A = this chain, B = another copy of it.
């Protein structure tokens, strides 16, 4: 029963030891699993099914992952990593262009483009995310949401730069960032309604003007008439409140 406590506490059976080989195996299995999860859902996909499609036995799958759930985690984590890396690049690029004092509109579009491309690349995982978010642990789920929060923050920074330069109105920056993010994701999530656009580029191109329309939108009067907060080109008519803090 509680006999041999000599070595490891986990994994008494065989296990893949070579790090590289293990990762390759994980990748292969996860790739197959991703497809099955995507058209069938996580719960309706059995480990047997995954094993079969991956050309392995059931047992082998558990030599690479300790549980079915871990496969899902792996997919999310990989996806997240990828996104974070892109975000880092974007931030660096943003800092550079900001120093150059590039036009805020151009900057916004310049930032939106690679993000949209990324969304397209990872679009299947985005869908998976929306569908299986509640299949995750609380901790895992929070990690995902924090990731998205970071992205939204970045978009906010880009908009804020435009506000600083007087190109965009200062209201509802967070909301506008939310809109841009959601609309980018809608390319993944609601593609059936966007079949008119064959490639991301097409969608992106059409979205550029809309994105600008969003960030440039002015706050409205209760009755629906636009309140002009800053005469975009010339002198400010009346600047409300102090700027910072």
Contact = CB atoms under 8 A, between A and B. Distances in A.
Interface of A: 39-41, 43-44, 105-106, 109, 130-131, 133-135, 145, 148-149, 152, 172, 174-176, 178-179, 182-183, 186, 189-190, 192-194, 196, 205-210, 212-220, 224, 226, 233, 237
A148 B191 CA distance: 13
Nearest to A130: B130
21 contacts: A41-B43, A43-B44, A44-B135, A130-B189, A145-B192, A148-B193, A152-B193, A174-B196, A175-B196, A176-B210, A178-B193, A182-B182, A209-B217, A209-B218, A209-B220, A209-B226, A212-B217, A213-B213, A213-B214, A213-B215, A213-B216
Contact of A210 (B130, B134, B172): B172
A134 B131 contact: yes
A104 to B, nearest CB: 11
Given A39-B134, A41-B135, A212 B206 contact: no
A217 B224 contact: no
Nearest to A194: B178
A193 B43 contact: no
Nearest to A178: B193
Copies held by the complex: 2
B175 A224 contact: no
Ranked 6 nearest A-B pairs via Cβ:
A213-B217, A43-B43, A213-B213, A182-B186, A209-B217, A209-B220
A133 to B, nearest CB: 8
A224 B210 contact: no
A224 B205 CA distance: 9
Contacts of A131: 130-131, 133-134
Given A106-B224, A179-B210, A205-B220, 17 more contacts: A41-B135, A105-B224, A131-B131, A131-B133, A152-B193, A175-B194, A178-B194, A179-B183, A179-B186, A182-B190, A183-B183, A209-B218, A210-B217, A213-B213, A213-B215, A213-B216, A213-B218
Nearest to A134: B41
Given A145-B192, A183-B183, A214 B220 contact: no
A123 to B, nearest CB: 15
A177 to B, nearest CB: 9
Contacts of A220: 205, 208-209, 212
Nearest to A172: B206
